[in-house]
Structure 1
Amino acid sequence: MISFGLIHHGSEILKEGEHYKLLWTSEFVAKYNENLDSDEVTQVLLKGIEDNMEELKKEFADDVILEGKYNDNDLAWMLFVDGCSLLHFMENLDIECPETLNLMLHQLLQILRDAILLENQLPRRLLEMLSKEEGPKLEFLFFNLCVFGQLKQNGIIGVSIQNPKPIHILDFHRLLFLSHIKVIHNQMEININPN
Structure 2
Amino acid sequence: MSRRIGLALLLCAFAALAQAASASKGDDVLARGARDGNAPAWAISVATPAGWTRDCCTYARAIGVNAVLYQGEWSGKPQRVMVLNVWPRQLPALADEVQADRKRYLQHDPAGKVSGFAVRHPAMPCEASVYRGSDRIDDVLVFCDPGAASGVRLSWSMAFDAADPSRRALLDDFMRVVVASRYTQ
Structure richer in strand, relative to its length: 2
* Higher Rg of the two aligned structures: 2
Higher helix share: 1
Fold similarity call, TM over 0.5: no
How does the TM-score come out when normalised to structure 2? 0.27
